[in-house]
Amino acid sequence: MIRGVKGSLLAAVSLAFAGCAASGTSAQSAGDKPAASTEKPVKFNKDPYPSTYHAYAGRPTAVRGVTIFDGEGGRIDNGVALFADGKVVSIGGPDTAIPAGYDVVDGTGKYLTPGVIDIHSHLGVYPSPSVDAHSDGNEATSPTTPEVWAEHSVWPQDPGFSRALANGGVTSLQILPGSANLIGGRSVVLKNVPARTVQGMKFPGAPYGMKMACGENPKRVYGSKGRMPSTRMGNFAVDRATWAKAAAYKKKLDEGKPVDRDLAMETLAGVLSGEILVQNHCYRADEMAQVIDMSHEFGYKVSAFHHAVEAYKIADVLAKEGICAAIWADWWGFKMEAYDSVPENIALVYKAGACTIVHSDDENQIQRLNQEAAKGLAAGRRMGMQISDEQAWTWLSYNPAKALGIADKTGSLKPGKMADVVLWNGNPFSVYTRPEKVWIDGALMFDATDPKRRPVSDFELGQPGEGDVK
């Protein structure tokens, strides 16, 4: 029986070779040429949760006799600002003609600026009231969680949004995951308007950000769990291993090869492609420099370092790299990596030519970012730096818009941009000054003189103090 089988196999082989000879081809091994794959490259929707934002209805409006900071360092005294159909129409001097049909606001003795943009906020993911049931900003279960999206935690009813609008003149803000993780997930940019869903607040066309963190926070969180990283070198090792994996994933995508869908790698591939902007929590100058080296190694760019209390030490490097520094005015010393700050940090970074931003990271501080910028401005002037009020306003509007990839749409009072505008009842760098009126896309969203123009969270309806801007 064995002999019979062997004979049959020999015959089959002979026929196979004969077939090859007849066709004029040579025999091939399985490894000569891979079989054509029937799998198709993965295709996924890059915007599965699109913005449904629609601007509230506004009226053509003129503000006259007002001091204007245009957001890009320009100033007009006794100026006139026109906006209609949600856009800035023009800004100019007192001779600027006001078309018929415009509502006219007297701005004598007052100031007009672009709306404040907070690049670092946790409103909605750590909302008020601050209870465990609302604590949704840190997915502290793995050192890297690029697959999570902050917008899936944002509670639109957070009363903090209306406080930021009415007290702080904040018209747009970036909501970030927390800093427990080296890679914390995607951030989202919102228009500060009441909406039933977070998608109804999403800034149309704004790129996603990705939150990264270095230093004490991630190594403390995971070191306490007895796992890597527990040191700064562990931080970098985990980061580099993750970026290496992401680079390999992106290479397959670029080559059109099939891959298993990986939500984490999708986000990181988006960063490597320049579609998602890195927002990096980092305090120490040496660590910021190392992160810059790591970004060069793997081919991504840091859009902004957040908190950056030692940014003044490498301000020239930040300027050369085109990286923004989002800074507090005076928070320091609450942990070791926050120890070596100086009050002049903001001004020193600005004078070095780097993109300078004043940010909050706090539900109370977001209500007075104008005052925080004033602290940095005053510290710089005491040091002898000549920085004008109008130049300092770039820290609150145009520069954060640039770092968020939305400077073509908002951040300054230029014709065609969104009419995100604040009328202040005095110099906005005074502690005595408050927003009098706030427009978002030309719609009057807050009016201190009209109790009916005070936004109220659904969460506050029927509660004592409803509508109180505090």
Q: What is the DSSP string of 328-342?
A: -SS---SSGGGSS--
> pLDDT tens digits for 410-454?
999 999 999 999 999 999 999 999 999 999 999 999 999 998 888
State the architecture of 115-410 in CATH terms: Alpha-Beta Barrel (3.20)
Q: What is the percent of the chain where pLDDT is above 70?
A: 90
- Asked whether the beta carbons of 150 and 438 are under 8 A apart, the reply is no
The neighbour count for residue 383, using CB atoms within 10 Å, is 13
In the predicted model, what is the mean pLDDT of residues 85-91? 98
Closest CA to 69 of 113, 117, 116: 113
Q: What local confidence, expressed as pLDDT, does residue 18 receive?
A: 38
Q: Has residue 9 got a pLDDT over 80?
A: no
Q: Return the half-sphere exposure (C-beta side, CA atoms, 13 A cut-off) of residue 235.
A: 22
Q: Has residue 5 got a pLDDT over 60?
A: no
Lowest mean pLDDT among 1-5, 165-169, 173-177, 436-440: 1-5
Higher confidence at residue 350 or residue 470?
A: 350
DSSP classification of residue 3? H
Q: What local confidence, expressed as pLDDT, does residue 103 receive?
A: 98
SS3 367: helix
Lowest mean pLDDT among 33-42, 99-108, 135-144, 262-271: 33-42
SS3 358: strand
Measured in whole angstroms, the distance separating CA 169 from the mean position of its chain's CA atoms is 18
Task: Report the distance separating Cα 234 and Cα 212, nearest Å.
Answer: 15
Q: What local confidence, expressed as pLDDT, does residue 13 receive?
A: 37
Higher confidence at residue 290 or residue 457?
A: 290
Lowest mean pLDDT among 168-172, 199-203, 455-459: 455-459
Q: Has residue 458 got a pLDDT over 60?
A: yes
Q: Which helix (H) or strand (E) holds 88?
A: strand 87-92
Lowest mean pLDDT among 44-53, 59-68, 456-465: 456-465
